[in-house]
Structure 1
Amino acid sequence: MKVKNNFLPSPKRLSRWNYCVKKFMEFCKRTDLHGFKYIAMEELTATESNLQAKILKVVSFARSVWGLAVFISVICAAFFVITAYRWYARNPIVTVIESTQGAIWDVPFPAVTICDLNMISRRAALAFSTNITLPENITSDFIFKTLKFAPLIHSSIYADSSQMRDLHKLQDVLDLNDMSIENLFRLLSPMSSCSNLIERCMWKNTLYRCEQIFQHIFTGVNLCCTFNYYAVDDPDNEIRSFRFPTPRRVASCGYQTALTTILKTDPTDYYSTSFASLGSLVFVDNAYNVPDLDSSVRMANPATEVMIAVLPERTYTTSGIKSFRAEERNCYYNDEIQLANFRYYSFHNCMALRKVQILMKTCNCVPFYFPQKDYGRICNFHDIECLEKVINPARLNDNGENDNNHKNDDQNNLVNCMPECEHFDYPLEVALGRLSKHIPLSATAFFDNIVLENRSVVNVFFNDLVATRYRRDVYLNWQNILAAFGGLLSLMLGFTLISGFDFVLFFSFKVIYDSISRLFIGDEHYNSSFTGHKGFILNIEEHKTDNWAKKAKKTKFHEVMEKKNQLERHTNRY
């Protein structure tokens, strides 16, 4: 056995860089992250042969390659994790299909609004022009002809210069007779009574007088009749006996289980319409939405039976959504924002209010059909030029004005509209059939004493017993982050919870403890704790060659001497 007993001078204090490299190599040896252990592969000593020196170069090259591979993996993992987090931060809320088997009785039945395609009744216009008080320079025939294009006041079809001039004269006549625009269109509408258009009504296989379940409402300038409508708190509501505090619901499906109506059309009374057709418009929308041309609409022509199948959908939110600001979740709750005198907030109602605000700011008036009458001055025919500039922005260029004036007119004061967080949707499927006058219908009381000429039958019902239920949930939570980030780190680095615990344990306890030891104890004692007694270097390979490292066998002499030493220690103690 050969032992070198060379007394070494005190080692120099390790630089910070060398200390970090040393600790990193220690971490590479102990961690189970992919590739790190190959960076710390054991090298051969410098006293080896030439062949072993060549092997040393190969090992050094392999360590460099593995170090580069690990570095690239760490960079890629960091890039993917940051990209995923940014995506989650931009989209903190996700909407998913929770079930396609939701119960339909959890979804309110939609509002059904029926409008005649004929906006001005010929008989009503003739009676109005005959009975109204006129100035000396205006005739009843002029009034009768002018009433034909009166609906252009709030139409996307703009009037020409001669029509505008005539409408101004019509407004002078209305002012002379102290008549409002709303009263004018009520008098001229063919639906001054709902029974004029809706001849028979059946709800859940029970016959009702149509006035009992339908009420009047303006859809633009067109006076219509609506069923199950709850958008506005109306103290003058026409329905008294059969009005419920909340929208109606159904617990069954099929065309005979909900609303069925018979509509009648009078072609001889048509005087002003924007459709090249006869019949009625049927709007199907949320009971808390104001019906307008933005709502889902279907047409019912004479001599047809229309089957409107509703496929209800419900979207609800989890409790965690409310912790986000409205701008972050990009939606409002129904009771979070109050719009005019609407019962609940909805994106549909908000956009209707926004249009009115634009009219108010541009023309200083509001449409007569807007639910809140005290919102401002009611627009009349004297405002038609301004109204057309708002409804048809292309007209601004015709008048030589800047097209951006309307768009940039203090938009910050307009209501900010966002979708509802929780809402009901009603996609529609429509089937059509032709009515026949020769089919016997005496067995059905619904068709008693009904002549099917110029009639149409409209059925609105739920198509199935189940509804689709959507859930809006928080996507940026600890479960999703753990799953997403854990998957990325595991793919790129083989990261696990155990390796993470080892990382924290090593760098938070061992490295800190070693650093404190170097600071207070000194490098000499710190290094001696790892190298043995100072001044002795053992050539292990040489010792192995001489079999010095083998465990020595105890002899009987050794046992006697050991007992003697124990006895002496015991005697000295006392």
Structure 2
Amino acid sequence: MESLDQKPFRLAVGRAAWWIPNPGRVARYPPIRTLAPNHLPGTSAEDTRKLSFAAALKDLLQNLSFHCYSKLVESGRRIQERFFWFVFHITALTVLIAFLWGTYTKEQEALVTTMYHPMYPIWKVEFPAISVCSLNRISQRAAWQYAHNLSGKDPKQRNASHFYDQLKAFMYMYYDPSDLMDIDNALRFQSFLDKFDTAKEELFFNTRNRMSALTPNCSDMFVSCRIAGRLFDCMDKFETTLTSHGFCCTFNYDGRYVNKRDFRQRYFGPDMGLVLTLKTDPSDNFYKINGHNGFMISIYEPHSYPDPYSGGVAERVAETGFNTLLPVRAKIFETLPEARSMSSSVRKCLFENEMPWIFARHYTFSKCISACRAQSVVSLCECVPFHLPHRYIDGSEKRIYCTLQHLACLKRYEFKWLNVITSRENVTGLEHELQDALYCPLCLASCTETRYSVRGAMTLGLPTPSQIKGPARSNPGPRANNSYGPASSSGSGKGPVHSSSAPAELAVVRIYFAETHIQYFRQIIKCAWYETFSTIGNICGIIAGFSLIGICELLFFLAKQLWQACRAELRAELAHIHVQIRNAQVAEPEPEAERPMKLFILP
């Protein structure tokens, strides 16, 4: 039995430094060499330094906070048991890595779309922009006037009919190049225009100005306009803008009708939306897109460039003699501002003000695709299509507009510009298309946008004058825009249609919201950093029994072993240097001046 006067000694659970309270200090009680077999000797900093890597690793596994790792080195266990625990831990680590990799791949989708409001009121939704383009893209009267101007500039004094025929063949290039057959004649005519139809202040043939003069005027197309049951002057609200079809008349391009409106002005229903009465003049037809009399109606988000090949626009044809109903269905997609802190490559979308130098703080995906296509046209054919906005191309003021001289180049890359990709993925069977397509990696989806679609459109025949006759009304009031009564000036929008316009030359278009409530979607951050940290911690704790403290212990062990290895290498290097210096000092002969002098006294 041990003596009661003997001083107690400190028990140590291991020799690793992280289990010693003060590894740099000398042990308070000296180690007792004659102890019972079940007692562990005292530890000191010097003893810890002398541990080999194998011994330190064994001590780490014995005292690590991770579960069941001590079974690998526990004394008294057979080799079969240790092998079983080894296979068990390897399997657990494999499953853990698989789960963590799955979590990582899912976290790459940083944003998730949720339903924010399933019944969002329509009177809070912005009204779309509406572009009206005549299917007759060139006015015959304007073409004759232009032909007379060219005849006056011709040194050979050819008549206007000659240039009228040449002009008709020349204008096919801008809308349907495949119809142009005599390319040599067209190139000769283009050379004449480049030489004699260029103003003094112009350095090249200005295709945009010529096409603007040849396009039918908006004042010649509109008869009356009405929105939310109120008539308004068409020329005050419609402006001439550029579209993929050329110059068209656009309503709400700058988003005037985007603010919240009164409940009565929610633009719901055929009679409360935008009602347009349009007219055509068959005698003024010069070139029609598809051979029909009527108008192309484009519905898209305000501040956008309507191009059906870039997306984001709904197009419908309104033929003359019919009442065309276009019910618009809207959906709102919004990304929370917190996503701005994320990289655009992670959130996979761009906010409207992230590329202000090109899109004037109104970025949309369709505008980006159009700008990418325009830059490709400039790079490959060295010309600017007249219908593209200047801001899409750097230095467009110094570049020439596309003419018949560029027809061969435009036709060569037509397939490329009609097929656009924003990311490259190898798809079997589409290798050729992948190489020939237009690659626009900078174009990402819009983070916040309002999407408009037209579903359920229908047409109704307009009544003939004999069908609309009836008893006189004391106060007729504003009826639907398919009523034809006594006239006022066309395009004013403040009176019914002129009596000289037959129903076969008129078209009524009704654009309205088809629903009183729409769906409102929001993109939110899928997981915050603390949620991701909790998910990883739960997976590690359940599968492998890992904990943050155990990970710190493991990192401390690795750092300490690395530090000890570096320090031992440094000490060995210093010791080697000291030995070399000492050997050099021993081998060096003693100088003469340092030898002791002896005095001899002679008698």
Instruction: Indicate the TM-score class for this superposition, using the shorter chain for normalisation.
Output: 0.5 to 0.7
Of residues 406, 416, 426, the one that matches 1:384 is 406
Q: Report what 1:515 is aligned to.
A: none
Cα RMSD between the aligned structures?
4.5
Superposed counterparts of 1:25-104, under 5 Å: 36=68, 64-65=83-84, 67-88=86-107, 90-104=108-122
Q: Give the CA deviation at 1:118.
A: 1.4
Of residues 290, 294, 302, the one that matches 2:305 is 290
Q: Give the CA deviation at 1:271.
A: 2.6
Q: Provide the secondary structure at the position in 2 that maps to 1:212.
A: helix
Using the TM superposition, name which of 11-20 and 450-459 deviates more: 11-20
Determine if contact 2:353/2:360 at 8 Å carries over to the other structure.
no
Of residues 161, 167, 190, the one that matches 1:141 is 161
Of residues 270, 287, 303, the one that matches 1:255 is 270
Q: Provide the secondary structure at the position in 2 that maps to 1:300.
A: strand
TM-aligned CA distance change 1:476 to 1:185, over 3 Å? same
Superposed counterparts of 1:341-356, under 5 Å: 342=360, 344-356=362-374
Q: Give the CA deviation at 1:212.
A: 1.7
Of residues 464, 473, 493, the one that matches 2:524 is 473
What is the CA–CA distance in structure 1 between the aligned matches of 2:129 and 2:454, rounded to whole Å?
Answer: 13
**1:316 corresponds to which letter in structure 2?**
E
**1:125 corresponds to which letter in structure 2?**
A
Q: Provide the secondary structure at the position in 2 that maps to 1:128.
A: helix
Q: Give the CA deviation at 1:272.
A: 1.4
Q: Give the CA deviation at 1:26.
A: 5.8
TM-aligned CA distance change 1:7 to 1:316, over 3 Å? closer
What is the CA–CA distance in structure 1 between the aligned matches of 2:64 and 2:361, rounded to whole Å?
Answer: 65
Q: Report what 1:195 is aligned to.
A: 219
Q: Provide the secondary structure at the position in 2 that maps to 1:469.
A: strand
Q: Give the CA deviation at 1:151.
A: 3.6
Q: Give the CA deviation at 1:208.
A: 1.2
Q: Give the CA deviation at 1:390.
A: 6.4
Deviation string, structure 1 residues 48-107 (Cα, Å, up to 9, x no partner): xxxxxxxx98xx75675455334312221122203422442x433444443333343443
TM-aligned CA distance change 1:161 to 1:384, over 3 Å? farther
Determine if contact 1:38/1:63 at 8 Å carries over to the other structure.
no
**2:303 corresponds to which letter in structure 1?**
Y
What is the CA–CA distance in structure 2 between the aligned matches of 1:305 and 1:486, rounded to whole Å?
Answer: 64
Q: Report what 1:431 is aligned to.
A: 457
What is the CA–CA distance in structure 1 between the aligned matches of 2:158 and 2:222, rounded to whole Å?
Answer: 37
Normalised to the residue count of structure 2, the TM-score between the two structures is 0.64
Q: Give the CA deviation at 1:206.
A: 0.5
Runs (5+) with no aligned partner, structure 2: 1-33, 42-46, 200-205, 418-431, 471-475, 486-496, 560-603
Percent identity among equivalent residues?
Answer: 19
Q: Provide the secondary structure at the position in 1 that maps to 2:351.
A: coil
Q: Give the CA deviation at 1:111.
A: 0.5
Of residues 221, 229, 232, the one that matches 1:208 is 232
**2:239 corresponds to which letter in structure 1?**
Q
Determine if contact 1:195/1:211 at 8 Å carries over to the other structure.
yes
TM-aligned CA distance change 1:223 to 1:349, over 3 Å? same
What is the CA–CA distance in structure 1 between the aligned matches of 2:515 and 2:325, rounded to whole Å?
Answer: 14
Superposed counterparts of 1:110-509, under 5 Å: 110-130=128-148, 132-134=150-152, 135=154, 136=156, 138-155=158-175, 157-158=177-178, 160=180, 162-163=182-183, 165-166=185-186, 168-169=188-189, 172-173=192-193, 175-178=195-198, 180-189=206-215, 191-192=216-217, 194-220=218-244, 222-230=246-254, 244=256, 247=258, 250=261, 251=263, 252=266, 253-294=268-309, 295-340=313-358, 342=360, 344-372=362-390, 375-379=397-401, 381-385=403-407, 388-389=410-411, 391-392=413-414, 416-437=442-463, 438=467, 444-445=478-479, 446=481, 447-449=483-485, 450=497, 451-475=502-526, 477-482=528-533, 484-486=535-537, 488-489=539-540, 492-493=543-544, 500=547, 503=550
TM-aligned CA distance change 1:140 to 1:476, over 3 Å? same
Determine if contact 1:115/1:225 at 8 Å carries over to the other structure.
yes
What is the CA–CA distance in structure 1 between the aligned matches of 2:530 and 2:355, rounded to whole Å?
Answer: 32
What is the CA–CA distance in structure 2 between the aligned matches of 1:105 and 1:481, rounded to whole Å?
Answer: 40
What is the CA–CA distance in structure 2 between the aligned matches of 1:40 and 1:390, rounded to whole Å?
Answer: 71
Q: Give the CA deviation at 1:348.
A: 2.3
What is the CA–CA distance in structure 2 between the aligned matches of 1:104 and 1:230, rounded to whole Å?
Answer: 20
Determine if contact 1:359/1:387 at 8 Å carries over to the other structure.
no
- What is the total number of aligned residue pairs between the two structures? 461
